[in-house]
Amino acid sequence: MQLRLAALLAVALVAGGCGGGDDETSSQSVPGCTAVEAPEPREPETREAPTAELDPNVKHTAVVRTNCGEFTITLAPDRSPNAAASFAALAEDGYYADTVFHRIVPEFVIQGGDPTATGTGGPGYTTVDTPAEDTQYTLGTVAMAKTADEPRGAAGSQFFVVTSDEVQLPGDYAVIGEVTSGFETVARIGGYGDANGVPTIVAVVESIEISRGG
């Protein structure tokens, strides 16, 4: 499965084959980011998919804290109820803590959510929320990555944040929300990757805190 940036840049936004490599062990100090050691990858695990959905009438936010700052995602359970509920449940259980953004493509996306740091990891289950045919992935959109063989809207744990206004993607990915504050952090992280999506710094998700209401 190939995704396109402005119909020209092809990269694989899949839950597979997109680790940062052996060089991604420590981070040099860069503006706005604290230099950290890469966390130890975790062993693959199998979890049960959550059964409870998020109330679409209640505002749910996810504060993503990283060594490069923090940003807030306002979740969209009305668009992808299963994936949004799964993301929130995993976050509340600490699944995303001490994981890296293993794929960073400047002017395209940052991708994380894999505790194994290989780009192939996930929670051991898959949810499906078939996107609307007219789904657009605009600047700040947060959606779930999937493998080429999975159906439209399939999701595990890996998520990506769109970092450009010119991204053109097929409507295959479950949208779980959008960045509503702290996008400067996303943009900062998004500047530290090469054309193949390999990060040039260690960007770590320290925690994701879910809030309801307000």
When pLDDT is cut at 50, 70 and 90, the band that residue 27 belongs to is low
Question: Who contacts 29 (Cβ-Cβ below 8 Å, separation ≥6)?
Answer: 35
Predicted TM-score of the model (pTM)? 0.90
Domains, the chain: 12-19+57-212 (2.40.100.10)
Provide DSSP, the chain: --EEETTTEEE--SSSS----TTTTB---BTTB---BPPPPPPP---PPP-PPP-TTS-EEEEEEEBTEEEEEEE-TTT-HHHHHHHHHHHHTTTTTTEE--EEETTTEEEE--TTSSS----S--EE-PPPTT----TTEEEE---TTSPTTEE-S-EEEE--TTEE--S-S-EEEEEEE-HHHHHHHHTSB-TTS-BSS--EEEEEEEEE--
Question: Who contacts 93 (Cβ-Cβ below 8 Å, separation ≥6)?
Answer: none
Model confidence pLDDT, tens digit, residues 28-75: 678 899 999 999 999 999 999 999 999 999 999 999 999 999 999 999
Task: State the chain's maximal CA–CA distance in angstroms.
Answer: 45
Model confidence pLDDT, tens digit, residues 152-200: 999 999 999 999 998 999 999 999 999 999 999 999 999 999 999 999 9
